[in-house]
Chains A and B, each alone.
Chain A
Amino acid sequence: MRAYGLAILLALGLVGCADSEPNPEAVASIVRGLSATPESIDPQLARSVASAVVLTDLYEGLLTRNAEGQIIAGAAARWALSADERKYTFELREGLRWSDGSTLTAADFVRGWTTLVADDTAAFYADLLNPVRRNGDGRLAIEAPDDTTLVVTLTAPTADFLQRLAHPALAPRAQGEARFNGAYQLEQYTPLGNITLVRNPYFHAADSVDIARVEYQPFEQEQTEYAAFRAGTVDVTSRVPRAVFRQEPRPDSLRTAPYLGVVYLSFNMRDAPSASTRLQLSAAIDRPALTDTIIGRGERPAYGLIPPGVANGVLPFESRLQSVDPVESGSQPAGELTLHYATSDENRVVAAALQEMWRSAFPDLKVTLANKEFRVLLSESRAGTFDGLMRRSWIADYNDASQFLAILKSDAAANSSGFADARLDTLLAAIDSTNDPAQRERLLHAAEQLVAAQVPVIPLYFFVSKHMVARRVAGWQDNPLDVHPTRFLRLLSE
């Protein structure tokens, strides 16, 4: 009996325990969820989107993005392009410092970029610097003639070069211990747990940073993250469970916006059905029904690979593909077809819907669904051994239209279909090497038409970004790259 009384007292004591966390009123701080545990917070070693979110707060490249996702001056105050369009000269701001007060110079950028492309770094994003020329000894053609000037020489004019510079992989690198030049610096980090950042007093725009402290919590499960949001312990979530979209009325905290990513089905062109069959399969899909009814989160139907509103140099690109024309004559698809997809709820629903659409359109065609674990799918895609169709997706690293057609370049690693067309390769090379926006637009349209006519892939829909943002957080701007640096967020006083 006494033991029970003791146990009950102990339990009550634990419940009544005062929280040892700091009073949230004293320091303006928010909690943001991440969709996975970041594998690294070293800008040149990081591989995933979750890491990039944290790195955006810790580091600033030559250029950076504002709250609307547009490229603005970052560490570089001014830049100029040479007459032959192959040499960029960047002038860094005056008085740049690292988070420990030491001076930040152009040599730090040289060090960062060199580390990125070095063999032993084995960095995932080394190809961002492909447009930069290599010297005779294999080193990058970048120089720092003085502490505040950086000169970059390209092999050819590259329209999307400036867009790349905002990527965290191109951040500067301090010598020795890790230091930070972004709006925030690291206070606490464990590889598996939460990451706490505090305001960096040496940031050149530190006065404009409202939130003093941000804690990133990785959530592998979206339901757990959503529960934490509802309980009030997380202010911004990294994604939203599907069930929330069915709530009437839609919650105010739910923010969705077009996102630069496309979901498509890839044929295996090494052993694919005829072009007429491929066209008919594409035409039979009711994309608006897929996006509005079956998925229903605001995704948009995709008839081409390039999302509307993505930049093509300076102007936003408007695709001319509105629908897939039905094929008038020719035999109907028949036989067997397998649709492979990675294990997930959403993929299963979409795959089932597609199977149904094809079944009703082509009674002689038998469509089987095959779901596989994500990495198994990727290894089959890499080896080119899958039969039928595979559901894939592609998300842009930076805001440029050519990113989306690059997956069909014959030598691209991301080319799961094995599609190889010399005309497309030529077009893509021309697109990459011209700086004239009108010319680029013409070439992009031509490339889109070429792809649409041959159907190596069937585009399905374009992504939307989805977050729950607590009412006390202001300054959240929707943007197509889904980049939301904490420095542009504010807390509303209660």
Chain B
Amino acid sequence: MADAAKTRRALALAVWIIGGIAIALALSRRWLPPLASEHGAGVDRMLHYSLLTTGIMIVAGHGVLGYVLWRFGGRDRIGFRMASRKTERRWSLVAGVCMAVVAEGGVLALGLPVWKQYFGSTAPANALTIEVTTEQFAWNVRYAGPDGLFGRTDPKLITLDNPLGMDAADSHGKDDIVSLNVLHAIVGRPVRIRLRSKDVLHSFFLPNLRVKQDSVPGMTIDFWFTPTRTGRFELACAQLCGFGHYEMRGVLIVESAEEWARWAEEQLHG
């Protein structure tokens, strides 16, 4: 039976240590990339709530399981009278209600308000609109220019030099600014993205801004966010789009209004 005692201790310790390492890993560093958007604070609050509650449950779960193995392992007869059906139902009810409060409470109180703010509302009127058209394996970026209107596009007009298929006959398109893989935004001013795709699914993922949205061919998807810090933030494709998926990198440059105006001027007349 010495063997059984060894297994009992080893297994109980393993369960405790594994749980401990999970918690230690969680606390060892700030895992989330540094935050740079307004609604992102709400996303982070949701994530931190989930980390905290599941952290507590991991401690409790591993603690209890390890304790049960330590205390009851290797005994030669059972130690308790049988649970009645009423006891069984009561325990299940307590566990179920606790979980419902923790899980649904989090969604309703912390989650969905942010979700609505981010997805369920139209962009504020002062938003800077940027059209992003994805293709294998690049981000085509377009600004409406001084007239505030995008020129017409048509897939039939796409050529190597005209990747968006812009219609030269449409005067609204004359002042459009077109670039590749680099987005310019203004700090503190909402950005509205019109997301389109030419070929397959892609996903517009700005880890620092807690922004992710698939681009879907055939759809124009509107969403918005507000950058809160200046800097260069990496844009990654998060939806498998082909062999160059891992190289489909873009950059969002968040700058002051003056810097942005200077850049836009250069694009129009430079």
Q: Do A and B come together as binding partners? A: no
